[in-house]
Amino acid sequence: MVLITLDGIDGSGKSSLLSALEKSLSDLSPVFTREPGATWVGEQVRRAIAERADPVTEALLFAADHAAHLEAVVRPALAAGRLVISDRYTDSRYAYQSATLEGIIPDPLGWLKAVHDGWTVPPDRTVLLVLPVAEALRRKSGKGVSEHFEEATLLERVQENYLRISAEEPMRFLVIDAGQPEEKVHALVSSAIREWHGSLRSRHR
């Protein structure tokens, strides 16, 4: 009944934050999930990334993965009254694909929003981890993640998009300086999620 999403550029520390949250929030029995990859469609998305599919194909595959994710995981969990925490969600598309579709589609963010309009489930709250791109790349180096998305200039644009999107919806976003010690980031996010869960769960969805 409460949907919380975690977002940020590659290397912003989402993975270690999520492992810590799995332990510290276990009493709330959250459903931890992710995009891409919660369903078989996610495998096709990873293939498109690996094969460097054209940006429109890639964007539509990410959106298809979102549709399958909603159907298979998010909607049933919310209907069952669960707290859902998703590692990446629509904002990843709005930030990454707004950058990759630049120059291909006249208004990438408007197009992406229209693609999701009417069927997506908007998140209740979103944690955005922000870290300088150089530091994010340094943290990620040697970890074997897709090079396609790690190019610094792209990530700079992606981060700018995240910051712009979060500034437009200050009530939904909690923007965290991910350059702080990991324990500090974890403590801030963990207590924010507890507070949101407490205040939002009684509300009728």
Site of interaction with ligand TMP (CB under 6 A): 10, 35-36, 62, 88, 92-93, 96-97, 145-146, 149
Tell me whether residue 79 or residue 145 sits nearer to ligand TMP (CB atom).
145
Specify the residue, 80 or 152, whose C-beta has the smaller distance to ligand TMP: 152
The least CB distance from residue 28 to ligand TMP, in Å, is 23
Q: Which is nearer to ligand TMP, 32 or 149 (CB)?
A: 149
Q: In what order do the strands lie in the sheet with 31-34?
A: 31-34, 83-87, 2-8, 125-130, 173-177
Which candidate, 127, 22, 120, places its Cα nearest to that of 68?
120
Closest CA to 152 of 176, 175, 135: 135
Instruction: Report d(CA 36, CA 193) in Å as an integer.
Output: 22
Nearer to ligand TMP, 30 or 33 (CB): 33
Structure tokens at 38: 């919660």
Contact 121, 70 (CB under 8 A): yes
* 28 vs 53 by CB, closer to ligand TMP: 53
Cα separation, 92 vs 161, in Å, equals 10
By C-alpha distance, which of 102, 120, 121, 122 is closest to 111? 102
Minimum gap (Å) between residue 80 Cβ and ligand TMP: 24
Shortest gap between Cβ of 45 and ligand TMP (angstroms)? 7
* 102 or 201: CB nearest ligand TMP: 102
* Least distance from ligand TMP to the Cβ atom of residue 9, Å: 8
User: C-beta of 179: minimal distance to ligand TMP in Å?
Assistant: 19
Longest dimension (CA), the chain: 47
Work out how close the CB of 110 gets to ligand TMP at its nearest, in angstroms, rounded to a whole number. Answer: 16
- Rounded to the nearest angstrom, the gap between the alpha carbon of residue 62 and the centroid of all alpha carbons in its chain is 12
